[in-house]
Amino acid sequence: MNSFSNKKASIALTITIVVCFACSVLLLRKIDVARGPGLIRESLYISSPSALKRMSLGYTGLLADIYWTRAVQYFGSHHQRSAEEYNLLFPLLDITTTLDPKLTVAYRFGATFLTEPPPQGAGQPEKAVELVKRGIERNPYDWRLYYDLGFLQAWDLHDYLAASKTFEKGSQLPNSNPALKVLAAAYASRGGDLETSRLLWRSTYETAANEAIRQNALQHLQSMKADDDVSALEKVVEQYRVKTGSLPASFSDLISAGLLRAVPTDPTGRPYKLTADGKIQLQDPDAMPFITKGAPPHWKPKITIPKD
Amino acid sequence: MRIAYIAANTFREAVRDRVLYNLIIFALLMIGSSLLLGQITIGVERELLVNLGLTAISIFGVLIAIFIGIGLVSKEIDKRTVYTVLTRPVQRWQFILGKYFGLVSTLAVNTLFMAAGLFAALLFVMRRFQHADVYVLVAIFFILLQFIMVTSFTMLFSSFSTPIESAVMAFCFFVIGNFSEDLRALAAASTGAVKIFASAAAYLVPNFSALNISSSVAHGEAVAGRIILLNTGYAILYSAAMVAAAALIFQRRDMK
Amino acid sequence: MGLVKPTSGSASILGGVIQDPAVRTQIGFLPEQPYFYDYLTAAELLNYYAQLSGVPGGERARRITATLDRVGLAKDAVNTQLRKFSKGMLQRVGIAQAILHDPKLVFLDEPMSGLDPIGRREVRDLIASLKEEGKTVFFSTHILSDAEALCDRVAIVAKGELRGVGVVADLTSSMRGKVELVWEGVQAITAVEALGGETHVAGEMIRAVIDDAKLDQAIDTLRVNKARIISMTPVRATLEDYFLSKLAQSSGGNN
């Protein structure tokens, strides 16, 4: 074989291609890590969303999708590390909805996750309201945005009358979900009691299309049930103490005393714990981050990725 | 070396091509017009000038890279000028490399002139240079890195398709490359077949997201030395792979 | 030439293979219908080719001037861009780039094309002088008389296949010759025509070309008819005759 064969050259070139490309991929990954949130920051360097819209030369829909993807990615990466701030979420959603005012999911996402306090969300309910109100201006026939506004007014602003009115208005739109009528009535007559809240979260869980929003609603429902359970169980413990004069050592004591039928489990299926001083605690409070009772001392809510 | 001779000849060809001058004039016009706009809007003269100037250099450079790049190989074959070159003691891969370096040096010289224009305009507007201007230089260097990548994949396309097809594909690669970080985010978030396709595309297209630092530089932001190093290495490796692929295709091609 | 990949087999040239750059420095090539970089001048083009063929830097200018002189390119054309050249001028530049680096072996594909009769004559003389320098010149042409005049050896290719290779004289002599007879005496015409020759009358004299084999018969016929023989000249077969006969053979065979 002479040293000038085409085959040798082809092999050498093929090896060069593979090696160089592989190394380029490795370096690219390093660059991505080094840049971190650089892309998001740079996304916001435009002077204003409307200026960006003008510069996008008619490709506003596509650009809106790109910014929406960036918003979701930003939220996801912050969510994963239980961030304490989500400062760029509103600006990103602002740009997204300016570019495409009809992108309903962006308003809905903002309604939920701008409101939730950190580390679940941005903790900026006023911004959420601003976003949803803008959404209603641009999409006056979309009942889902009325739902979101009513939700915010009820849950965050505690303005039950306004919430009721909003739900009522939304229920009159074509194709609206019957839950709106029910919620309108509930908030008009009963204000913000526990039952109404439960109704609210259940409606959200049943009507929302976005998976993240549904999961969030589910966690609220589970947390509320857990709260109820903890209250009820602590009452049972109290009954036992009155009856026997001492605290139960375990659930078996309560069962033998005829006060319980079986070891109680929380909404995620884990059994409750009975502490030495007669309090009820959750095995894994992180699974239901919205609980107000049954948490061990010094516990702070963290993000868990809900298991399917 | 023979590669240098071929590169010099390619450079000479580019310089005698009218397309080059039209595009340079347009670029300089853009820089000039940004000076005018700066008079109208208050307080953002530097930002506007840097943004517009860098965009002009970038866009017109890419246009030159594509317009001349699509003919680098196909023109030689169509016009049969390649016959009298390849029958000389020139290896096929040397030919490809020579043409590549010829176009890259054309772009480099071009960029030098346009950069001089930009800095002249900057001096005119700001009356003096500031420390942050160093990063404008880095931005221009990053644009140059984009050029060497654009030239490399344009040349690859030129080695097996017609000029029009090459131009279209090169343009697509350029546009998608500007959103390559988003593409990788999409790939990371998806599953199944979509994930495979998106990942392949995300690493195949050039990563221009990291090289578009015009807006941050316009705001006076700094660029870390490590990032500069990583980007340079990446651009060189990516281009090397593309040029090698072009050489491979050219190697196996029959001249008819 | 390294332009098209072979389907099978191997070939050696000048003791090496065509892919070896060292071998290629010894070879010059003029393609059919050459195209050159039209944005270059003749001097720039030849300088570029000289660089690629490994002509040392100091030598180049001298070689270029000498070669351009040899192919007969006008002095004022040297620094004009090639896009302004006529076909004949381009052909001369083409030959120039093929011999510029003093190769041992020169391939010329249709070197006469595009040239007027003076140009063709000049190229023929050039090829002859290259031969005198000890170079091997391999050229292709449609013009068989050129091949006959210049070549030591000839290969006939018809319809893509090799039909004959050899020294020119050997090839033509393999053909059956003819003889030209000139005589006075119209009475013999019919008899000679019966032997298969065409007759031409020119004044008093009659001329006919007949097959070599029938010569004796023809002479007898003329004698019998009391004709006066003026001359008897062998007519040599030309390369063209050879070519046409080979073509007829193979098409007869193919049918």
Last residue in a domain, options C118, C141, C164: C141
Which residues of chain A make contact with B209, given a CB cutoff of 8 A? 39
pLDDT > 90 fraction of chain C, expressed in percent and rounded: 0
Please count the structural domains in chain C.
2
DSSP output for B183-217: HHHHHHH--HHHHHHHHHHHHHS---GGG--HHHH
Burial (CB < 10 A; 0-12, 13-18, 19+), residue B88, is: buried
The amino acid at A178: P
C120 and C28 co-located in one domain? yes
The answer to whether C137 and C204 are in contact (CB under 8 A) is no
Q: Can you give the length of chain A in residues?
A: 308
Quickly state the pLDDT bin for B144 (edges 50, 70, 90): very high
Q: What pLDDT was estimated at residue C253?
A: 43
Last residue in a domain, options C97, C124, C141: C141
Q: Is residue C161 part of a domain?
A: no
* pLDDT tens-digit readout, B103-128: 999 999 889 888 888 888 888 777 77
CATH number at residue C219: 3.30.70.980
Q: Which two tokens stand for residue A75?
A: 């939220």
Quickly state the pLDDT bin for B229 (edges 50, 70, 90): very high
CA C5, distance to chain mean position in Å, is 27
C27 and C97 co-located in one domain? yes
Nearest CA in chain A to C12: A2
C130 and C213 co-located in one domain? no
> Averaged over A194-217, what is the pLDDT?
85
DSSP type of residue C106: E
In this complex, the residue of B203, B213, B216 whose CB is nearest that of residue A25 is: B203
Whole-number mean pLDDT of chain C? 80
Q: What pLDDT was estimated at residue B8?
A: 92
Q: Is residue C38 part of a domain?
A: yes
Residues 20-49 of C with CB under 8 A from A: 20-21
CATH number at residue C58: 3.40.50.300
Q: Is residue C2 part of a domain?
A: no
In angstroms, the Cα distances linking A158 to A127, A152, A183, A191, C103 are 16, 8, 14, 9, 97
Q: Which chains touch C (3 or more CB pairs under 8 A)?
A: A, B
Q: Do A2 and C5 count as a contact with CB atoms less than 8 A apart? A: no
C28 and C137 co-located in one domain? yes
C125 and C204 co-located in one domain? no
Q: Which residue has the higher pLDDT, B151 or C233?
A: B151
pLDDT at A3 over 50: no
pLDDT at A306 over 60: no
Nearest CA in chain A to B245: A17
ipTM above 0.90, yes or no: no
Which region, left, alpha or beta, applies to residue B209 given φ > 0 means left and ψ of -120 to 50 means alpha? alpha
C119 and C181 co-located in one domain? no
Q: Which residue has the higher pLDDT, B137 or C164?
A: B137
C55 and C136 co-located in one domain? yes
Whole-number mean pLDDT of chain A? 84
Residues 2-41 of A with CB under 8 A from C: 2, 4-6
> Averaged over A134-160, what is the pLDDT?
89
Q: What pLDDT was estimated at residue A97?
A: 92
Q: What pLDDT was estimated at residue B38?
A: 65
Neighbours of A5 (CB within 10 A): 12
Whole-number mean pLDDT of chain B? 87
Q: What pLDDT was estimated at residue B238?
A: 96
Nearest CA in chain B to C96: B84
Q: Do C40 and B88 count as a contact with CB atoms less than 8 A apart? A: no
Which residues of chain A make contact with B207, given a CB cutoff of 8 A? 28, 31
Q: What pLDDT was estimated at residue A1?
A: 33
Q: Which residue has the higher pLDDT, C166 or C174?
A: C166
Q: Where in chain A is the domain with CATH 1.25.40.10?
A: 53-215
Q: What pLDDT was estimated at residue B96?
A: 93
Quickly state the pLDDT bin for B156 (edges 50, 70, 90): very high
Q: What pLDDT was estimated at residue C255?
A: 34
Which region, left, alpha or beta, applies to residue B192 given φ > 0 means left and ψ of -120 to 50 means alpha? left
pLDDT at A308 over 50: no
* pLDDT tens-digit readout, A86-117: 888 999 999 999 989 999 999 999 999 999 88
Q: Do C5 and B89 count as a contact with CB atoms less than 8 A apart? A: no
Quickly state the pLDDT bin for A19 (edges 50, 70, 90): very high
The answer to whether C12 and C19 are in contact (CB under 8 A) is no
Of the candidate CATH numbers 3.40.640.10, 3.40.50.720, 1.25.40.10, 3.30.460.10, the domain formed by A53-215 belongs to 1.25.40.10
The answer to whether B147 and B63 are in contact (CB under 8 A) is no
DSSP output for A207-223: H--SHHHHHHHHHHHHH
What range defines the domain where residue C109 resides? 21-141
Q: Is residue C68 part of a domain?
A: yes
Q: Does C27 touch chain B (CB under 8 A)?
A: yes
Which residues of chain B make contact with A95, given a CB cutoff of 8 A? none
Q: What pLDDT was estimated at residue A232?
A: 87
Q: Is residue C211 part of a domain?
A: yes
Nearest CA in chain B to C50: B88
In angstroms, the Cα distances linking A248 to A235, C68, C158 are 13, 115, 112
Q: Is residue C153 part of a domain?
A: no
pLDDT at B179 over 50: yes
Which residues of chain A make contact with B233, given a CB cutoff of 8 A? 27
pLDDT at C46 over 70: yes
Q: How far apart are CA B12 and CA B71, in angstroms?
A: 15
Nearest CA in chain A to C19: A4
Q: Which chains touch A (3 or more CB pairs under 8 A)?
A: B, C
Cβ contacts of A292 within 8 Å, gap of 6 or more: A223, A227
B245 min Cα distance to partner chain C (Å): 19
Q: Which two tokens stand for residue C64?
A: 């270029």
Q: Do C2 and B13 count as a contact with CB atoms less than 8 A apart? A: no
pLDDT > 70 fraction of chain B, expressed in percent and rounded: 97
pTM (two decimals): 0.77
Q: Is residue C241 part of a domain?
A: no
Q: What pLDDT was estimated at residue A2?
A: 40
Q: Do A2 and C21 count as a contact with CB atoms less than 8 A apart? A: no
Q: How far apart are CA A229 and CA A293, in angstroms?
A: 9
Q: Do A4 and C5 count as a contact with CB atoms less than 8 A apart? A: no
CA R_g for chain A:
27
Q: Does A1 touch chain C (CB under 8 A)?
A: no
To the nearest 10 degrees (0 to 180), the angle between helices C87-99 and C42-52 is 30
C27 and C75 co-located in one domain? yes
Q: Is residue C69 part of a domain?
A: yes
To the nearest 10 degrees (0 to 180), the angle between helices A211-244 and A104-113 is 30
Q: What pLDDT was estimated at residue A25?
A: 93
Which residues of chain A make contact with C19, given a CB cutoff of 8 A? 2, 4-6
Q: What pLDDT was estimated at residue C234?
A: 77
